[in-house]
C-alpha cells in the first residue's frame, strides 16, 4: 500500500496558489517563445516527443524551483519521470507532483510551425497528490493555451473539491446539464492507438443509444475542459483495453495515464461531473503506473453510457 502524506487545509491552499502560478508561468512563457525550428525527437508508447516538449520540460523545472523551492517528494512528468532526490527524505516521499508539461504537443507544434502562427488547443497540467494514487490528489490546475485560462481545484473534504476558473468559484449546479443543444455529444478518445475498429465499435454502441460521438481535440485534458465549456457532455477513453505488444513484449499503443488527466480530474469532480472507470467504479485505486479506462460525464447520462459500453468492456476484458 502506498504511504499517504498528510496535508493540512493551509498546506492545500498554499499548494493551490503555487501550482496555479506554475502552470500560468510555463504556459505564458511557451506562448511568448519564438521557435526557429520544431522537430520530433523520438517516439514513446505511440507518442511523438519533440523539441517543444523539451522546452516545456525545462520551463516546468524552472517554475517548480521558483514557486515550490522547498518541495520534497516525487515529481512525475509525462515522458521522463524523475525525483528531486536532493530534497527528499523518507517521510516526504509519498508527496507527488503529477505533471503533463504540454498536453496537446501535436496541436502546439503545428500551431507554432504553420505559416500563420495560431493559439494551440493544449494545456499545461499539474496535480499534487498525497500518494501515488489518483484518489489522493489534493490540488489540480491546468492553463489553457488557447484562451489563457486557469482551471483549478482543491480538496475540501472526502471526494469533495472546490473548482475555480481564473480564481472564481465554479458553481456545479450551473454545469450539471447540457445547455443550448438537444443532443448529447461525447468525445471518444483514440489518440495514437491503432485499434480503430474497436473504437468504431464503441462509437456505434454509443450512437445506438442516441449519443453523437466525436474524436476530440488530441489533448485529453482539453477534452475534459470542453465538457466544462459546454462543448461536450462526456469524455470516454477505452484505450486501456486496446493493446499491442512488440517483439519484446513491451506496449506499443498509447493509453491514458495519470499524467494525462491528473491536473483536470479534480476540477471535473468539483464541477459536478461523474468520474468512473469503464465498469462504473471509483478511479481512486489507479496509480501513476496504471493505464486508466476512464469515463467523465454529466451525471444524468453516465448510466446510459455504461449500459451502452458494458458488452464491449466485458468482451475486451477477457
Q: Which residues are annotated as a binding site?
A: 100, 102-103, 260
Q: Give the annotated binding-site residues for Mg(2+).
A: 100, 102-103, 260
The residue to which cell 503555487 is assigned: 18
Phi and psi at residue 204, to the nearest 5°: -65, -40
Question: Which 3 state secondary structure label does DSSP give 295?
Answer: strand
Q: Is 282 helix (H, G, I), strand (E, B) or coil?
A: coil
Query: How many C-alpha atoms does 63 have within 13 Å on its Cβ side?
Result: 27
Coil/strand/helix, residue 203: helix
Distance CA 134, CA 237 (A): 16
Of 40, 39, 23, nearest in space to 31 by CA? 23
Classify residue 122 as exposed, middle or buried by CB count within 10 Å of its CB (0-12, 13-18, 19+): buried
- Among 155, 108, 109, 136, CA closest to 258: 136
Distance, CA of 60 to CA of 75 (rounded, Å): 11
- Supply the Cα-derived Rg of the chain in whole angstroms: 19
Which residues, in sequence order, are CB contacts of 258 under 8 Å at separation 6+? 76, 98, 134, 286, 287, 288, 290, 292
Amino acid at each position: 500500500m502506498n504511504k499517504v502524506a498528510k496535508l493540512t487545509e493551509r498546506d492545500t491552499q498554499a499548494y493551490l496558489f503555487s501550482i496555479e502560478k506554475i502552470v500560468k508561468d510555463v504556459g505564458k512563457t511557451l506562448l511568448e517563445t519564438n521557435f526557429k525550428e520544431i522537430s520530433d525527437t523520438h517516439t514513446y508508447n505511440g507518442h511523438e516527443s519533440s523539441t517543444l516538449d523539451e522546452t516545456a520540460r525545462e520551463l516546468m523545472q524552472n517554475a517548480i524551483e521558483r514557486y515550490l523551492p522547498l518541495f520534497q517528494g516525487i515529481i512525475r512528468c509525462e515522458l521522463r519521470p524523475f525525483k528531486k532526490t536532493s530534497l527528499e527524505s523518507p517521510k516526504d516521499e509519498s508527496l507527488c507532483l503529477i505533471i503533463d508539461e504540454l498536453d496537446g504537443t501535436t496541436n502546439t507544434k503545428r500551431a507554432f510551425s504553420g505559416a500563420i502562427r495560431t493559439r494551440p488547443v493544449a494545456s499545461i497540467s499539474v496535480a499534487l497528490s498525497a500518494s501515488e494514487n489518483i484518489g489522493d490528489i489534493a490540488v489540480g490546475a491546468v492553463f489553457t493555451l488557447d484562451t489563457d485560462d486557469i482551471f483549478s481545484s482543491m480538496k475540501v473534504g472526502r471526494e469533495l473539491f472546490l473548482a475555480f476558473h481564473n480564481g472564481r468559484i465554479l458553481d456545479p449546479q450551473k454545469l450539471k446539464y447540457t445547455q443550448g443543444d438537444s443532443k448529447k455529444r461525447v468525445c471518444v478518445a483514440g489518440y495514437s492507438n491503432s485499434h480503430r475498429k474497436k473504437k468504431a465499435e464503441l462509437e456505434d454502441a454509443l450512437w445506438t443509444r442516441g449519443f453523437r460521438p466525436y474524436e476530440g481535440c488530441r489533448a485529453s485534458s482539453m477534452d475534459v475542459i470542453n465538457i466544462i465549456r459546454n462543448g461536450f457532455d462526456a469524455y470516454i477513453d477505452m484505450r486501456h483495453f486496446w493493446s499491442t505488444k512488440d517483439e519484446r513484449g513491451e506496449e506499443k499503443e498509447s493509453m491514458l495515464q495519470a499524467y494525462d488527466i491528473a491536473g483536470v480530474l479534480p476540477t471535473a469532480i468539483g464541477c459536478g461531473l461523474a468520474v468512473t472507470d469503464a465498469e462504473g467504479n471509483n478511479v481512486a485505486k489507479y496509480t501513476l503506473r496504471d493505464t486508466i479506462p476512464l469515463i467523465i460525464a454529466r451525471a444524468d447520462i453516465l448510466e446510459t453510457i455504461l449500459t451502452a459500453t458494458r458488452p464491449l468492456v466485458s468482451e475486451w476484458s477477457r
